[in-house]
Amino acid sequence: MSEIYQPAEDSYLLSENLKKFLPKLLKKNSNAKFLEIGCGSGIQLQTALESGIKKQNIFSVDINKKAVQHCKKLDFNCIQSNLFEKVSGKYSVIVFNPPYLPEDKNEPKDSQLATTGGKKGSEIINKFLKQAKNYLEKGGKIFLITSSLTKGIKFGNWKKTLLTKRKLFFEEIYLWKLEI
């Protein structure tokens, strides 16, 4: 079974920005519904809770059973699902820190599920971008991490804003806000 992804620079970039954005959203809509695809260790779920999103409005999925078990133990709503496969309903915010790196044959199988997004790195992101609009409330927002190493992202009709970027050793990581 794959290991649970331990919070790293990409996790912190997303979490820091959610801490700024979610309280503003809650001022407009105290019942905002939050969905995370690929919750891993639960760091973003914890951020959502600490930012004031009601626990019953925090939902999450991961394809990795271990991550699902872990987030359930932390008392979050969490199910095993490949992207939106088992998701229903609409959400005010959807966040995804996806596997975004191009395939590297030397990467251990254990960590590939969390880091490798396909041959170009964008395959899972592109599936997510196609499906996500069906799960977003009117005026809803998506927060998505990508990297300078991710090739072939198809943003399509999403209105995108680059919120911030961070230079790491081998790559630059980006945080996007997407709206319909």
Ligand X SMILES: C[S@@+](CC[C@H](N)C(=O)[O-])C[C@H]1O[C@@H](n2cnc3c(N)ncnc32)[C@H](O)[C@@H]1O
- At position 100, the amino acid (one-letter code) is Y
**Alpha-helical runs (H) found in 7-158:** 9-28, 43-50, 65-73, 109-115, 123-132
Least Å from the CB of residue 120 to ligand X = 15
Least Å from the CB of residue 37 to ligand X = 5
Among 144, 107, 148, smallest CA distance to 126 is for 144
Residue list 141-180, contact with ligand X (CB under 6 A): none
39 within 8 A of 62, measured Cβ to Cβ:
yes
Our separate counts of H helices and E strands in the chain read: 5, 7
Q: Which is nearer to ligand X, 5 or 92 (CB)?
A: 5
Sketch the per residue contact string, 89 through 128, with ligand X: x for CB under 6 A, - otherwise.
Answer: --------xxx-------------xx---------x----
Q: Which is nearer to ligand X, 4 or 159 (CB)?
A: 4
User: What is the chain's alpha carbon radius of gyration, rounded to the nearest angstrom?
Assistant: 15
Q: Own/partner pairs for 50-56, CB < 8 Å, 24+ apart?
A: 50/19, 51/18, 51/19, 51/22, 51/23, 51/26, 52/22, 52/23, 52/26, 53/22, 53/26
Least Å from the CB of residue 97 to ligand X = 4
Least Å from the CB of residue 62 to ligand X = 5
Q: How many residues bind ligand X (CB under 6 A)?
A: 24
Sketch the per residue contact string, 46 through 85, with ligand X: x for CB under 6 A, - otherwise.
Answer: ---------------xxxx--x--------------xx--
Interface residues with ligand X (CB under 6 A) are: 5, 7, 11, 14, 37-41, 43-44, 61-64, 67, 82-83, 97-99, 113-114, 124
